[in-house]
């Protein structure tokens, strides 16, 4: 008698969810011996990342780089092109890079402890500044901040938590966030409709697969898209489903374009209530109104702008499809309400939001404005 074995269909493997707080490796072309990864935790115990680029020159001014939400320190170290760290090193500065809790190199946007931008402003940025100052002594310390990193920095500054900075470069948005009407509407509607089904929006279609709950979002992002890459579509054509655009497509080098899923990660939906409150107020406002742990932060950063004690360069691309003319608005409001502040505005023609750092020509078109500002105050 012949017995036939019955083959049981195998189920597809479940997607692995990252739970470790170990930092993903940085990708760069520097000598590894020059890249110092410093063990670093925020005061509330959350593991973060702090990286120093060794210059063998202890007299250089230091520059802290703050990435945007879902990005990471990688955005300043692109090996495919001349990046911001290259420019800072050649111009005589010591770069420091903070991976705050919204970093692509950390797991918190998908799993782990939830947070608001209050946590970034109260814990992450001041702790990083304090740690850097322990190492550099009385040398000048500048900050270059992008997007939400800049927005959170404005809350730290107006709380008086990072006094004495030599200068700040804010890219994209600072004290007066302004989104397009359809972006704000989609953010509100999507947050309400999707919050019970998903907690984050991924960018890498290859990881989630065709038969996933995220497929309709990718399909929606692909409408009228010129680029066939799903990651590019959900970022350039949709900005995680909001209908905004994160960069001018032709400004990206092919190598950087192919790494978008590595450079930008999932966007958590549970952060949207704070972001909506900020955008509706057209100011950076505190989320935690009753929690005494956050009482050091101002309820409205714009109302506390008089506490800013350092020169600020507001930088923005003329084609910013996410924050529109937020920086121009910020300059005009501060000029009217706080004329004693040293605040200037520079617009980069032909650039959007992310391409001011990731663009193939950013070293020529953008970084010079940043270095000129730093050099005047070093």
What residues have CB less than 8 Å from 203, skipping those under 6 apart?
70, 231, 234, 235, 240, 260, 261, 264, 265, 266, 267
With CA atoms as reference, report the closest residue to 248 among 333, 309, 318, 163: 318
Cα–Cα distance for residue pair 58/127, rounded to 1 Å: 22
Residue-wise over 269-303: b if at least 16 C-beta within 10 A, else e? Answer: bebbebbeebbeebbbbbbbeeeeebeebbebbbe
- 122 secondary structure, DSSP code: I
Contact 105, 23 (CB under 8 A): yes
Residues in the chain: 378
Is residue 152 classed as helix, strand or coil in its secondary structure?
helix
Per-residue pLDDT of the chain (378 residues; tens, 9 = 90+): 333 444 444 433 434 445 567 899 999 999 999 999 999 999 999 999 999 999 999 899 999 999 999 999 999 999 989 999 999 999 999 999 999 999 999 999 987 679 999 999 999 999 999 999 999 999 999 999 999 999 999 999 999 999 999 999 999 999 999 998 767 666 666 656 566 567 788 888 887 776 777 777 777 778 777 899 889 998 987 787 777 899 999 999 999 999 999 999 999 988 988 999 999 999 999 999 999 999 999 999 999 999 999 999 999 999 999 999 999 999 999 999 999 999 999 999 999 999 999 999 999 999 999 999 999 999
Cα–Cα distance for residue pair 68/157, rounded to 1 Å: 17
């Amino acid at each position: 008698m012949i017995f036939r074995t019955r083959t049981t269909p195998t189920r597809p493997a479940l997607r692995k969810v990252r739970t470790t707080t170990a930092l993903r490796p940085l990708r760069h072309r520097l000598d590894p011996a020059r890249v110092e990864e410093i063990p670093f935790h925020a005061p509330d115990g959350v593991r973060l990342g702090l990286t120093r680029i060794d210059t063998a020159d202890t007299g250089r001014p230091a520059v802290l780089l703050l990435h945007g939400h879902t990005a990471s320190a990688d955005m300043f170290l692109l090996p495919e092109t001349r990046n911001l760290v290259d420019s800072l090193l050649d111009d005589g500065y010591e770069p420091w890079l903070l991976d705050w809790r919204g970093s692509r190199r950390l797991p918190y946007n998908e799993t782990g402890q939830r947070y608001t931008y209050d946590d970034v402003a109260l814990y992450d940025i001041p702790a990083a500044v304090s740690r850097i100052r322990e190492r550099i002594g009385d040398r000048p310390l500048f900050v270059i901040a992008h997007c939400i990193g800049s927005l959170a920095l404005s809350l730290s500054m107006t709380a008086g938590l990072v006094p004495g900075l030599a200068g700040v470069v804010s890219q994209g948005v600072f004290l007066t966030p302004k989104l397009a009407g359809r972006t704000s509407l989609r953010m509100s509607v999507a947050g309400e409709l999707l919050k019970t089904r998903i907690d984050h929006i991924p960018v890498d279609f290859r990881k989630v697969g065709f038969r996933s709950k995220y497929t309709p979002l990718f399909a929606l992002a692909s409408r009228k898209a010129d680029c066939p890459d799903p990651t590019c579509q959900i970022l350039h054509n949709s900005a995680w489903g909001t209908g905004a655009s994160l960069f001018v497509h032709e400004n990206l080098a092919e190598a950087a374009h192919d790494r978008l899923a590595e450079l930008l990660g999932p966007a958590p939906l549970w952060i949207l209530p704070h972001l909506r409150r900020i955008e509706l107020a057209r100011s950076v406002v505190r989320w935690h109104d009753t929690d005494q742990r956050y009482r050091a932060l101002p309820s409205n950063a714009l109302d506390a702008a008089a506490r800013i004690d350092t020169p600020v360069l507001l930088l923005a691309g003329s084609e910013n499809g996410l924050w529109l003319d937020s920086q121009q608005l910020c300059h005009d409001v501060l000029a009217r309400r706080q004329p004693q502040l040293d605040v200037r505005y520079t617009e980069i023609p032909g650039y959007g939001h992310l391409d001011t750092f990731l663009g193939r020509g950013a070293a020529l078109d953008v970084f010079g404005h940043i270095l000129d500002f730093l050099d005047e105050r070093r």
